[in-house]
Every structure is written in structure tokens, then in C-alpha cells.
Structure 1
Amino acid sequence: MLSLSRRGFLAASAATAASLVLPARVRAQSARMSLTATTRTLDIKGRAATVWGLMDGNGRSGLVLDPGQAFAVDLKNSLAEPTIIHWHGQIPDNAQDGVPDLPMPMLQPGDIRAYDFAARPGTHWMHAHVPAHEMLLLAAPLIVRRPEDVAADRQEVTLFLHDFAFKSPAEVLTEITGGASMAGMDHGQSGQGAMDHSGMDMGAMEQGGMMAMPGMDGMAMDLNDYNFDAYLANDRTLDDPEVVQVDKGGQVLVRVINAAAATVFWIDTGALPGRLVAVDGEPVQPLPGSRFGVAMGQRLDIELEVPREGGAYPVLALREGAKERTGVILATPGAAVAKIADLSERDHPAFSGDLAQESLLRAVTPLPERAPASQPMLMLGGSMMPYVWTINGQTWGTHVPVTAKSGDRVEMMFHNMSMMAHPMHLHGHAFQVVGTGGARFAGAVRDTVHVPPMGMVTVALDAGEAARWMLHCHHMPHLSTGMMTEFAVLA
């Protein structure tokens, strides 16, 4: 049994980001905040692992902003090598977006860079825009609360998900890609590996993870590239999960962030019926359920109600197509908390196989209807052998930018011709899903959409600042082998 007092939740704590649990009362904050890219040590399955992290001025992971608070942050690089941070879900001016040399150079060791822009409300996150650095867990939550969050009588819990290997990112990428070229994605690729202090080699290349697709004449999609050593929820496994104290009969908003490099999860709310109320920080018409899929880079806001009789209630993240799982436990005072195995009895189903969930989502505030000035199609391709992933047949460096004029409505269709799904993320913009296959609807407003094998998704957006904006797959091995282009907005 686990003790609730062990790293327990402090409901009135001013240190909101320490345990990634947010109180309803808003904390007064200074005009500017500090953020440091640094190393830290985690205990993962009884073994010490040195990883990277983004810590606030009090040494806590991530940032929480009050309603209306500007993103006024001084970022310091305390690492031994250059890096750069992308504010995923935010729409700053292009100079502050956080992509190596587009247009700003990486932050050198010891340097400090100031950021200042209007914050976009919702559940977002921040991460290194260098695949090897992100795989070293250089990422953290970025929560921007709305006035209605403050007014609501509910507790907020952030569920931050990672996949983790004791091997270095370079070793993992080499195993996955078979030594394929990094296709120009060499920014910081020499990054320090996660240190394994036990001397044990636990990495395992996965050649399986395949699942037949209905109606595809026996064709099989590839779900997982790699068996990671651990799957983390708020930096912990189910060997020692975070236990969050909640009130009997209380309302809870779980902010889910999939920061994994290459893992799609189901979020299983178990005995607590859920309502999905936002995706990628943007409100949707409430969708009831107890299991919701979330791809890399995506976020989910799920409302839960704790029964009046109280108890312990796991909220689990299930790796698609496999048995691994992680999560947190919501528990009322005095509740017995049982041990949960980190493997389910059977493989979890695929989420990546279809667009069933996406097709049910409806935006609370859809884009106004406009005729598109352009309708570019992006063909997503690639294969496991050789391990190369492309957009319109090209990798980064030989890519042809997608272009649009600032202010124009653009309808962009992603057509996946490969047997892996691709979470496609566009910088500097929010877009609305307006079609899956041939069906048209006013879907969710997002910044990352998961495109299944042989599937088609159409998104609508209004082109923003005239600049070069990155458009890429958020599966890190796919990105590393070139699955990135740019959305070039012209004045």
C-alpha cells in the first residue's frame, strides 16, 4: 500500500508546479518568470537516471500562468551544450518560436534569452526543438489558466506523459532507424545520453507492434517503433506513482499532455466517467467517455467527478498496441491505494487506426466560414526499411515549402500513404479540423492532428505572420529522418 502523505498533494500550496497539481485559487506572480534548462536525476524502476528538464525559479517543473498574464520569461541554458525551446501551443512572433536558426540561433551554455508575448490560454507545453534533447525529457507543462478555470469549484491535475530509455537518444535513434541519415536534423544530435548508473543495458528494439487494418486486405500498420524502458506519468512509473489527494464528491480537471517521443496513449479514467472538454488547449463540445486517445504533441482536458463515498481512482495512460501503462492515482483522504502493475493482461487496442474520436469532436468556437484561397495537399510517406519519412516525397533540406499569403484562408489536406500514423504539428497557428476522408464538419481547433495510415484529414486555418513556420511530424524518429517542411507565409 502507498501512503498518501508520501509526496502528497498540498491543496493550498503556493508551489503549484511542484507536483503538477494546480489549486483552484490563483497565486500572485511576479512580473517576469525564470526558466532554466538543466539536468536532474530521476529514480526510474529503482535506478538513477540523469535527464534534462525545464525548471521554474523555484526549481519546479514547468510554468503556470494566471488569466491574462503575459508570457514574460527569462530562459537560461545551464546545460553543457546549445539548445532551444519551442512553446508548443503558443503563437508568439516568429523570432520567439524556438526552432534552431529559424530565425534565432540556439541558446549557448550559460546564455539567457528573454521572451515576452501574449499567452494563449489552455493546456500547452514546452520542449526542446532538437529530437535528441526532447528524448532526454527537456520538456515541461505550460498551463495558461482561463478566468472560468479560476471561477470553477474544481481541482486541476496535470498528467505529463513521457517514454524513457536508459540508452542515449543517439543509440535509440540508431536502433530505430538502422543508422539512417538524420536528414539535416543535426542540431545538438551529439546530446548527452541519459546516464544509466546501474551498468545494465535494458533497451530493446521492437520489430513487432503491427496490427491488421480492417478492409485493407491484410495490410498491417506499424504502431510502435521501439520498446522503451519505462513510460512515465509526472516523471514516475506505476512502481511508485503520484498519489493526488482529492475531495469526496469533488470535481477534477485532468490536463493530459503527451510529451512522449514515439508513443500514442489511451487515457483510461477507469471507474470515473469522464468528459473531454478541450483538446490542444481549445474547448470542444463535451464528449463523454472513459477512454480517450492522445498522440504525441497533443493535449486533452478531461473533467471527472469523484464519488461522494470516496476511494482511490487510477487515471491510466495505456500504450497503444502493447501492454505497458502508467498513470496517477486520485485518492480521497484515508482511502486504501492498491498496487497497480505496469503491464495490462492483454495488448491495448490501436488508437492510430482510424479517425473515430476526431470525427466526434466539435469546436466550441469554430472558425468563421470563408472560401479557401488555396488547398494544398501534403502527401505523408515513408517506410520502416529503409527508415525514411517524407512530406510530398521529400525530407527536410530538399523540401518544397507550402506557401500562403498572410490573412488568407488555407485548407490543408494531409494524405497519409504510409503504414504508420503521423501526428502533424504546425507552428505559429491554430487550425480547425474540417474533414476526415470525404466527410465535412466543424471539428476541433488544434495545433497537432493525428493522421492514421492511409487516412486523410483536412484542416482550415488563416495564415498568420509573414514568416517561415515549421510543419512536421511529432514522432521524434520520423522528424529525425526528415519528416518536416515549412509553411512559408508571404506578406
Structure 2
Amino acid sequence: MNMMTRRGFLAASAAAAAFPIPRTAMARADAPLALIAATRTLDINGRAATVFGLAGPSGQGLILDPGQRFQVDLTNTLDIDTIIHWHGQTPPNVQDGVPNMPSPMLARGETRSYSFEARSGTHWMHSHVPTQEMQLLAAPLIVRRPEDLTADRQEVVMFLHDFSFKPPEEVLADIGGGHGAVSHGLHGNHGASTATQPMPDGGHGAMNGMAGMGGMSMDLNDYDWDAYLANDRTLSDPEVVQVERGGRIRLRVINAAAATVFWIDSGKVAARLVAVDGHDVLPVSAARFGLAMGQRLDLDIDLPSERGAWPILALREGARERTGLILATPGAEVQRIDAMAEVVAPAFDIDLAQEAKLLARTALPKRPVDRSHMLMLGGSMQPYVWTINGAIWGQHSPVTARTGERVVLSFHNTSMMGHPMHLHGHVFQVVALNGKAMAGALRDTVYVPPNSMVDVALDAGEAARWMLHCHHMPHLATGMMTEFQVIA
């Protein structure tokens, strides 16, 4: 294999590390942090790409120290109106970042101040306009805990995207018109792999999107993107993170992709999954973990004591494409990694086996359930329309509750695609998988595979309209959104 060359970013967007995790905060705890929505230029496989970004004091994103309040001045320098959602945080509804629910978008040149108590953990922030998120208007939002400052470990962020050189409106038109990915069942299987994958109902079919479910085909990927990015880079020029021999790494992985589920593969070094969506779970050891759109994983990795380079790869489910970064000790030989794997990665968690292993360190307090709702997740590739309880956004009936009630939401997926379901303004606990009770992980985004049901419990918070939607951007853009309406 050839030695890897390092091109870096174009001069137009040259900066320090794009996703830094410094030891101390860059600003005083009582001073607002400046966050700027701006255009930037990336080098993607040798081609210039103009994208959006969220620039903080030390690069893309924000890092808060323990106890530091989320106190941010957001400035929009784009040529279009925008608004930012603080994914994983639970701010007052007026600061939640959804267009006109209730706050309007920020006009060009406008600055808006935000201030609320930050929720610790690995989170992120992004535009709540699907086409803008598809143009990479997103960044990490890390809120440290006291042990993060004292632990003998190095922190690394891996921020994942899928990317197209086409305008997002054209991408959505391609998908909606049936001209997206070539590897999924309903739109054909032009030369794709035919490996099989068992399904929850006992059927078998191809992992690349032809998996059988009661005689129907399962769709994994509905668009073939031009590139898959880890920290704004592809495997033609990945980020190489310098690490110590025998060191411990806390890897914070964020899936900010518009429509791609990834497997996080640590290769020859085993990892321990210690948190999901910013909330601790009982550790689970493995070399591969799946991650749906909007979700986050915290992995502890113990490196060997010798000199070396260890790739951490993100594998596109049901396909061969991959991206990632490389952990390398000083002086280690770093070899080129092909962006196409030799084998197709499997479908993610179609039997909910990974989710079943995730148990909360601190569960919700036990109490009677005051209200339950069933949410039927539906839709199809042709026509390309996705619904909750049979309705698209604008024709929906709100899911209701009263402040303080214990609520159970049952997500029942009757469609042939998986749906990462995200609820704003609340933390919920996974309490049942396909009817089997469990004290599962605390989350804000849960993946519901086809032909499956996931129950989550929560305590209804501030009386307001809170968004509840699929975090697959083309699904959201075509209507897969409703509201969780809490009344006093």
C-alpha cells in the first residue's frame, strides 16, 4: 500500500483543526460564545465544494466546560435565512430552533442570543431546514463533565456526513422521482451485491436493500452520495489524529448525515460503548457499533503500547462505501485506505439486537403511565411520501400530553425503511422492543427498523409545541413530522 499524502483544506477555508477538543474552554464562562453560520470551502476528493458551517471560537462547533451555561450569540452571515436547533439540549421552547415554532428564522446579518442550562454529553447543532442541513450547516456541541477534565484520556470527535455536489433541491427531486440510489430494492439492483440478511420475520433477502419482509423489499439507502465525510474529509485524505502509545481515547461519534446509517468499526482495537445520545449506558464491548442519523456514540478505546496507526472507519450500511479517521502514534507509518470496502456492510439493527444491549446507568424514576400514544410510521418509495399516523406535516394531528405526565410513545414502523425518530425538548428512555420490556438507554433519537415497534417513556415538560420527526432528511422534507403538544 502507498504512503498517504496530506492535502488539507483549500486556502479559502484554512484554519486550525476543524473539530478540536482543547483541554480548557476558549472563553470565560460568563461571556457569550460567538457562533457564526457561514459559507466555507472544502476539498472533497480533489474538488472544491462550497458548503455551510457553524464556526465557534476554536473551529467548527462549540465546547462547553462543566457547569458552563449555554450562552451563545448566533450570527447569520449566509445569504439566506436560517435557524439552528440544539440537538440533545432541552432549552426553553422559544430557543429550540424550529422555524416559526415559535421563533422566526434569522435574516442575513442578524444576531440572536441564547441562554439556558446546558445538558452534558456529546450533542450537536444543525439547521432545522432540511436542505441547509444537507449543505453541512451543522457542527458538534460538546458539553463536558468534571471527569472529562480529570480523566487520563484523549478526546476525539468524529463528525459524519454524506455529501452531494448537486444542490440539495436537486437531490430531493432525484430521490422523489425514483432516481436516487442504484442499490435499493424498489428502484432496481444494477450490479449491486446480493448478500442475504435475516429479517425479524424470518425472511431473507439481499442486505443492499432487497431484504425480504413478508414478500416486500426493504430499502436501506435511497441515494448514492458523492462522498462520505468524517470531520469534513474523505479517506483520500483523512484526518490523522496523533495519539500516545498505550493511551486511552474517548471517541465521540456524531452521525450528522442526511440519509446514511453508519457502522463504526474500530478494527484491531476493541471499543467499549459507554454512552449514547449523551447519556451513560452500562459498557458494551465490541469492535463495531451502528449509528443512525441524529444519534451519537461515546466509545472508550485502549490503544496498544507499541507504535502504530489504527483506522476508525464508518461503514455505510448495505454498501461498500466508507469514511473515517486514523489514530496514529508519532512516527507511525500511515497507509492509504480504499474508500470502497471489499465486502458490503450489513443492514443496521434490523432485529434491534444492538438496542437490546443498551441499558441506562440511571433510568427514569418508576411511576405509573398517565398517557400512551401509538405512532404508526408509514410511507413508500413510489410515490416518495413518508407519514406519521397516516398524515404528512400540515395535515397531522398533534400528539398531546399535559406537563408532568408520564407518557409512553410507541413507534410502530410499517414501512420498508428504518426511521430514526427524534423528539425535541425531552429525554426519553427506551422501555420496550417489539413488546419486550426493558430498562433501555436514555435517548433523544431512537432507530425504528422496518416491521418493528419501539416504546419510549418520558415525562412531559414545558407546555409548548415540540417537534417529533424522522431524522432522515428526505423523509422529513416529504412530511414525516408531527408535533408533541404539551399543555399546562
What's the TM-score once normalised by structure 2's chain length? 0.91
CA deviation map 1:332-391 (0-9, x unaligned): 011000000000012110005221100110001100111110110000000000000000
CA deviation map 1:302-358 (0-9, x unaligned): 000110012000000000000000000000011000000000012110005221100
The corresponding residue for 2:417 is 420
Secondary structure of residue in 2 paired with 1:478? helix
Match of 2:260 among 263, 283, 287: 263
Find the aligned partners of 1:5 and 1:365 in 2 and give their Cα distance: 43
The corresponding residue for 2:343 is 346
Contact 1:17 1:63 in 2 (8 A): no
Find the aligned partners of 2:154 and 2:3 in 1 and give their Cα distance: 22
The corresponding residue for 2:245 is 248
Find the aligned partners of 1:489 and 1:402 in 2 and give their Cα distance: 8
One-letter amino acid matched to 2:119: R
The corresponding residue for 2:139 is 140
1:277 aligns to 2:252 (yes or no):
no
User: CA offset at residue 88 of structure 1?
Assistant: 0.2
Find the aligned partners of 1:28 and 1:360 in 2 and give their Cα distance: 37
Find the aligned partners of 2:471 and 2:437 in 1 and give their Cα distance: 25
Contact 2:220 2:317 in 1 (8 A): yes
Q: What does residue range 296-375 of structure 1 map to in structure 2 within 5 Å?
A: 296-375=293-372
Give the unaligned 5+ runs of structure 2. 10-14, 186-195, 204-212
The corresponding residue for 1:45 is 45
User: CA offset at residue 7 of structure 1?
Assistant: 6.5
Q: 1:473 to 1:90 in 2, by over 3 A?
A: same
Secondary structure of residue in 1 paired with 2:476? helix
Q: What does residue range 464-475 of structure 1 map to in structure 2 within 5 Å?
A: 464-475=461-472
Q: 1:317 to 1:358 in 2, by over 3 A?
A: same
User: CA offset at residue 2 of structure 1?
Assistant: 5.3
Secondary structure of residue in 1 paired with 2:474? helix
1:66 aligns to 2:65 (yes or no):
yes
User: CA offset at residue 21 of structure 1?
Assistant: 3.8
One-letter amino acid matched to 2:40: R
User: CA offset at residue 218 of structure 1?
Assistant: 4.2
Match of 1:445 among 429, 432, 442: 442
Contact 2:8 2:43 in 1 (8 A): no
One-letter amino acid matched to 2:264: I
1:26 aligns to 2:2 (yes or no):
no
Q: 1:2 to 1:154 in 2, by over 3 A?
A: farther
User: CA offset at residue 43 of structure 1?
Assistant: 0.3
Contact 2:5 2:237 in 1 (8 A): no
Find the aligned partners of 1:318 and 1:90 in 2 and give their Cα distance: 28
Match of 2:181 among 206, 211, 214: 206
Worse-matched range after superposition: 346-355 or 246-255? 346-355
Secondary structure of residue in 2 paired with 1:375? strand
Find the aligned partners of 2:78 and 2:448 in 1 and give their Cα distance: 35
User: CA offset at residue 6 of structure 1?
Assistant: 7.7
Contact 2:349 2:355 in 1 (8 A): no
One-letter amino acid matched to 1:90: Q
Contact 1:33 1:74 in 2 (8 A): yes
User: CA offset at residue 29 of structure 1?
Assistant: 2.0
Secondary structure of residue in 1 paired with 2:371? coil
Give the unaligned 5+ runs of structure 1. 9-15, 180-203
CA deviation map 1:242-286 (0-9, x unaligned): 000000010001000000000000000001100000000000000
Count of residues in correspondence between the two structures: 458
Secondary structure of residue in 1 paired with 2:175? helix
- Percent of aligned positions with the same letter in both sequences? 64
One-letter amino acid matched to 1:123: T
